Chain A
Amino acid sequence: QVQLVQSGPEVRKPGASVKVSCKTSGYTFTSHGITWVRQAPGQGLEWMGWISAYNGDTHYAQKVRGRATMSTDTSTNTAYLELRRLRSDDTAIYYCAREAHSGGSTGFDPWGQGTLVTVSS
């Protein structure tokens, strides 16, 4: 079955960087785009960006543009999110999710289990 398994929790100080991985299995990696969404404690869902697993094209939300970099490794079917110059308001659970259908579907399914990133001095 299709699975997205994310790396473990991270703690960073303000100004540092973090890189979260999302290892996929059970489907043709290059056929589905990947999106990254975060959720601050007790809050709603915030879209961060999207990457094509086919050619590496990326599109970022305005809020994180310039601080976030999304990438993929087709040899290991893994997607990555790096976030730099971390601030306390970056503390959140970070999720990766796969386009439910190839070719740019509306919905995303499945989602990774989430990675808690805590930014604290």
Chain B
Amino acid sequence: DIILTQSPATLSLSPGKRATLSCRASQSLPNSFAWYQQKPGQPPRLLIYDASSRATGIPARFSGSGSGTDFTLTISSLEPEDFAVYYCQYRTKWPPALTFGGGTKVEIK
């Protein structure tokens, strides 16, 4: 089974700072990677798909990168609305299956 390990568990930063979130896979994977943002009381929101493509309506400050076992979500300059929990997700094409990382909470320092 594929395991996705996100780090750090919590990231404490001030608005305007750069956030770098990591997702490490237990084995080398193709770029079928996505990132989601979840705020309290809301469903997840797709940010990035195919490792580096921004979803519709997602601001340019969000970017995804990586390959193999290491994938990264970068928020170039944190806005107040960016403080939330972020999840990485891998999808096997067929049969369809999803694996989620444990999440990284980005909190205001």
Contact = CB atoms under 8 A, between A and B. Distances in A.
B35 to A, nearest CB: 8
A45 B100 contact: yes
Contacts of B103: 44-45
Contact of A47 (B46, B49, B97): B97
B96 A107 contact: no
Contacts of B97: 47, 50, 59, 61
Contact of A106 (B33, B43, B56): B33
B61 interface: no
A39 to B, nearest CB: 9
Contacts of A101: 49
Contact of B48 (A105, A107, A111, A114): A107
B44 interface: yes
Given A44-B103, A105-B49, A106-B32, A59 B44 contact: no
Given A44-B102, A100-B55, A111 B44 contact: yes
Interface residues of B, number: 29
A91 interface: no
B96 A104 contact: yes
B87 A106 contact: no
Interface of B: 31-34, 36, 43-46, 48-51, 55-56, 87, 89, 91, 93-103
Q: Considering the complex of A and B, which 9 residue pairs feature the smallest CB-CB distances, nearest first?
A: A107-B49, A109-B46, A111-B43, A107-B34, A47-B98, A50-B96, A45-B100, A106-B49, A59-B95
24 contacts: A35-B96, A37-B100, A44-B101, A45-B44, A45-B87, A47-B100, A50-B97, A95-B43, A100-B46, A100-B49, A100-B55, A104-B93, A105-B49, A106-B31, A106-B33, A106-B34, A107-B50, A107-B55, A107-B89, A107-B91, A108-B46, A109-B56, A110-B46, A111-B44
